Amino acid sequence: MQVITATQLNELLQNSEQQPFLLDVREANEFEYCHIENSIHMPMHSIPANLSQLPQDAHIISICHHGMRSLQVAQFLLQNGFSNITNLSGGVHAWAQSVDPTMPTY
């Protein structure tokens, strides 16, 4: 599994022709409060039941608040046949600090 910083993710989103699949695994109230643009919301607890909704061939970047839940999801995806999985180190909190200072934090 790969790890990416918020700054690296921002560069990837700015410069990549093929955009990664941004998978936000936080709870609904967290996602509603703040999220990275174009993220797809799928709470951590719902991932096992919804594996078929995730693109097998896409570069999936797993996102949560600080990077721990997303790390668990990334490991789960790797164990279930996904191969191009990256965890956002520091989560949306790091994104707010490093990339988008207008993003609300909690």
Catalytic: which of 9, 64, 73, 74?
Answer: 64
| Class for the domain spanning 2-98 | alpha beta
Region 62-71 average pLDDT: 98
What's the CA gap between 60 and 9, in Å, rounded? 12
pLDDT at position 14 is 96
Residues 6+ apart with CB under 8 A from 11: none
**Torsions phi, psi for 23 (to 5 deg):** -105, 105
Token pair belonging to 70: 């997303």
Please state the rounded mean pLDDT for residues 24-32. Answer: 98
> Tokens 């410069």 identify what position?
15
Q: What is the pTM of this model?
A: 0.97
Q: Where are the domains of the chain?
A: 2-98
Q: Is 64 a catalytic residue?
A: yes
The enclosing H or E element of 12 equals: helix 6-15
pLDDT at 21: 98
Using 50, 70 and 90 to split pLDDT, how confident is the model at 90?
very high
Cα 5–chain centre separation:
11
